[in-house]
Structure formats: structure tokens, C-alpha cells
Amino acid sequence: MPSLFSKIVSGEIPAVKIYEDDHTLAFLDIAPASRGHTLVIPKDEYADLYAMPPELLADVSTTVQKVALALRDTLAPDGMNIVQNNGSAAGQTVFHYHVHVIPRWEGDGVFGAWRTQQPGQDELRALAEQLRAIL
Ligand code: AMP
């Protein structure tokens, strides 16, 4: 069954679109975290970052930059968050890869600072070794 966002691509579900090209689409989030909150998606359906072909990731990134520039020039926010969730534990609710472009204003309270951990150097080095072995 096509994802919610595939239905937006096909026109089956309406959306407030702001940009599209051959491979990507940008539309306003229906429940924005801030004014201008936009989603950028590949037109083809991939569940998440892990499934995305690298060249399509590049296409989406190019559209994310275009949208961020347009939001910056239109709304003059103080900052811009680019957010991308993978898996329900990370807050993903729509399993069609998408990138949130979220304009930010000083003191808007949209996101707080995240809690940080204090790993020792040994722990960091051991983890880096595991990752380098794969990369
Ligand atoms: P995520 O939690 O990263 O999966 O984000 C899904 C996003 O899709 C949320 O910010 C929703 O508000 C947004 N959303 C869900 N349905 C629609 C829709 N029909 N049109 C626009 N945005 C939507």
C-alpha cells in the first residue's frame, strides 16, 4: 500500500506544495512546529535513511537547501533546523523518507537542548574502532 506521502505525490491526498522537480517534492507540514515548517521527500517511496539510494539523498539535500534559502529569505528566521527521523524510537511516524526544514526564532521553545552523556575516552575509542571496521 502506498505511503501517505506517496498519496500526496500522486495527488490522492491534498498538500500545500511549494516546490517539485523530477525526483523530489516539498510541501508545508500539516502540523507545523513553527511557521514555514516544510517537509522534503523523494517522490519514490523509501521507508527511511537506510533504504535511500545515495544519489536520491543528494537530490533531496539539494531541495532541502533550496527550501531553506526560500524560507530564510521569506520569513527571516533567526535559525533553521534540518531534522530527519528514522524509526519510531526516533519519532518517525510516516515511513516514507522525509526531511523536516524548520525555521527557528530566538526563544521559540520548539526544541530544548538534548540531555548529554559523559563517556570516557576509552569508550569513545572502542566505539570508533567498531565503526571504522565497518566503514
Ligand atoms: P515524522 O514524525 O518525522 O515521521 O514526521 C511526519 C510529519 O508529517 C509530521 O510533522 C506531520 O505533521 C506531517 N504530516 C502528516 N500528515 C501530513 C499531511 N497530510 N500533510 C502534511 N504533513 C503531514
Å from CA of 31 to ligand 1 middle: 7
- Work out the number of other CB atoms within 10 angstroms of the CB of residue 134: 5
Residue 120: per-residue pLDDT: 96
Q: Which residues make Cβ contacts (< 8 Å) with residue 96, sequence separation at least 6?
A: 3, 4, 5, 6, 41, 45, 46, 47
Q: Which residues make Cβ contacts (< 8 Å) with residue 52, sequence separation at least 6?
A: 42, 46, 60, 97
- CB distance 47 to ligand 1 below 6 Å: no
Å from CA of 103 to ligand 1 middle: 16
Alpha-helix runs per DSSP H in 1-135 = 4-10, 54-75, 121-134
- CB distance 29 to ligand 1 below 6 Å: yes
The pLDDT tens digits for 4-32 are 999 999 999 999 999 999 999 999 999 99
- Going by C-alpha positions, the residue among 95, 32, 99, 104 that lies closest to residue 66 is 99
Instruction: Give the range of the structural domain holding residue 110, as residue numbers without chain letter.
Output: 4-134
The pLDDT tens digits for 69-125 are 999 999 999 999 999 999 999 999 999 999 999 999 999 999 988 999 999 999 999
What CATH number has the domain bearing residue 73? 3.30.428.10
Domains contained in the chain, number: 1
- CB distance 6 to ligand 1 below 6 Å: no
Q: Which residues make Cβ contacts (< 8 Å) with residue 121, sequence separation at least 6?
A: none
